[in-house]
Amino acid sequence: MATENKNLSVYDKATIPNAKEFRFGIVVSEWNPEITEGLFEGSYKALLDCGGLKENIIRWNVPGSFELIHGSKKLITTQKVDAVIAIGSVIQGETKHFDFVCSATAQGIKDLNVLHDTPIIFCVLTDNNLQQAKDRSGGKHGNKGVEAAIAAVKMAALGK
């Protein structure tokens, strides 16, 4: 696994731009809330730790990971944000639904990044089981939400 020997929550704050002047959007899937809420908390706290202001962080919820695409698009076209974090969790089941949702969500977020100037950070866990998702949303591998927040700050700074 790519995260096997990496803690997703570790970053060197000295290398991160100050986020005080940036506005962030966080779009959160309501599917698998045990996982997505952990990812949100990681993102939110990391943004604050890097100087982000509470009033400059907008959270929108969407039903599932597939809907992150539309939620992110609406957020960047109706709100003045410097970066968006799209948070979701898709866990392998017994059907091919997992493959279709993961692929479409990744492609949709990629398409938005190509078509728009506002960076959208892909923070969608695509795990084989619930334990893997827990391990990456605040468990033994840290929190992918933290990693996504750091990417959002860096990309927002790149846009300035």
The DSSP line for 112-133 is HHHH-SS-EEEEEEEESSHHHH
Residue 86's CB is within 10 A of a number of other CB atoms, namely 27
The radius of gyration of the chain's CA atoms, rounded to the nearest angstrom, is 15
The Cβ of residue 3 has, within 10 Å, a number of other Cβ atoms equal to 15
Which of 70, 97, 116, 141 is catalytic? The answer is 97
φ, ψ at 139 (rounded to 5°): -95, -145
Which H helix or E strand runs over 82?
none
Residue 70 bears catalytic tag: no
Rounded CA-CA distance 18/33 in Å is: 30
**What is the widest separation between alpha-carbon atoms in the chain?**
45
The catalytic residue positions are 97
